[in-house]
């Protein structure tokens, strides 16, 4: 799973994009209960930003949306990245390093203690459940992160009155890669 650079094109001028983002962004979560409705918190400079949806706290597994704002030929180009790889790696290490050794330990204990009895199969099933839970938790975490990235990028594109440029992102999933001109729509992380 590689990091994705996604290009959003908008007819707004760069300063209008910055103003639009600043109008719905706070710099500190303590400002959340202010009079104006906000969608993001983080830092916004003249040509770049690092923001996060207010639904996600600072210690959540939701990555920041990092972007650069540049003047294009026809409007503004916003290049956006959301690094979900580090959060997926953390989840994978956490579940695999705890549940897989527990499953192996239960398997060894079932062989040693229940070996030759009618209950040995129960030990194997219980051991397999640990392995299955680890694999399922990691797969669900990855699916959740991919879905969150898709929703957040679409929401950001709507916020700046733009659209995601087709063919600009490189999607890596399960060994497949699609490049310029052959990219499925944003969020189509798998080819059916």
Q: Supply the pTM of this predicted model.
A: 0.74
- Average pLDDT of the chain is 82
**Do 80 and 159 have their domain in common?**
yes
Task: Establish if 107 belongs to a structural domain.
Answer: yes
What's 60's domain CATH number?
3.30.310
**Do 26 and 90 have their domain in common?**
no
What total of structural domains would you count in the chain? 2
- Among 61-65, 95-99, 182-186, where is mean pLDDT lowest? 182-186
**Do 20 and 71 have their domain in common?**
yes
Task: Establish if 187 belongs to a structural domain.
Answer: no
**Do 157 and 77 have their domain in common?**
yes
Region 36-61: what's the mean pLDDT? 85
- What is the C-alpha to C-alpha distance for residues 16 and 18, in angstroms, rounded to an integer? 5
Sign of CA dihedral 155, 158, 162, 167: positive
**Do 64 and 16 have their domain in common?**
yes
Region 93-101: what's the mean pLDDT? 94
Task: Establish if 192 belongs to a structural domain.
Answer: no
The answer, yes or no, to whether residue 75 has pLDDT greater than 50, is: yes
Region 27-55: what's the mean pLDDT? 83
Identify the pLDDT of residue 1. 55
CB 183 within 8 A of CB 171: yes
**Do 80 and 12 have their domain in common?**
yes
The answer, yes or no, to whether residue 129 has pLDDT greater than 80, is: yes
The answer, yes or no, to whether residue 192 has pLDDT greater than 60, is: no
CA-only gyration radius of the chain, Å: 22
Identify the pLDDT of residue 144. 92
Q: Between the ranges 59-63, 109-113, 179-183, where is the mean pLDDT highest?
A: 109-113
**Do 156 and 70 have their domain in common?**
yes
Which DSSP string do the residues of 79-99 spell out, in sequence order?
Answer: EEE---HHHHHHHHHHHHHHH
Which residue range(s) make up the domain with 122? 86-139
Identify the pLDDT of residue 173. 40
Give 80-96 pLDDT, tens digit per residue.
999 899 889 999 999 99
Residue 35 — very low, low, confident or very high, per pLDDT cuts 50/70/90? low
- Among 8-22, 23-37, 122-136, 161-175, where is mean pLDDT lowest? 161-175
Which backbone phi and psi does 171 adopt, to 5 degrees? -105, 125
Identify the pLDDT of residue 178. 36
Give 155-181 pLDDT, tens digit per residue.
999 999 999 988 665 444 433 333 333
């Amino acid at each position: 799973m590689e990091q994705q650079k996604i290009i959003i094109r908008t007819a707004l001028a760069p300063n209008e994009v910055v103003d639009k983002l600043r109008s719905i962004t706070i710099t500190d979560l303590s400002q959340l209960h202010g009079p104006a409705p906000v969608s993001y918190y983080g830092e916004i400079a003249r040509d770049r930003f690092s923001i996060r949806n207010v639904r996600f706290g600072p210690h959540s597994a939701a990555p920041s949306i990092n972007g650069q704002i540049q003047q294009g030929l026809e409007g503004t180009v916003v290049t956006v990245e959301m690094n979900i790889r580090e959060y997926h790696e953390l989840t994978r290490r956490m579940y695999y390093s705890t549940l897989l050794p527990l499953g192996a330990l239960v398997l060894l204990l079932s062989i040693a203690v229940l070996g030759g009895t009618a209950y040995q199969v129960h030990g194997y099933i219980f051991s397999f459940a640990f392995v299955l839970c680890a694999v399922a938790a990691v797969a669900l975490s990855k699916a959740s992160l991919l879905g969150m990235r898709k929703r957040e990028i679409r929401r950001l594109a709507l916020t700046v009155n733009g659209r995601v440029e087709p063919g600009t992102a490189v999607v890596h999933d399960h060994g497949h890669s699609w490049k310029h001109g052959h990219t499925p729509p944003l969020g189509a992380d798998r080819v059916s």
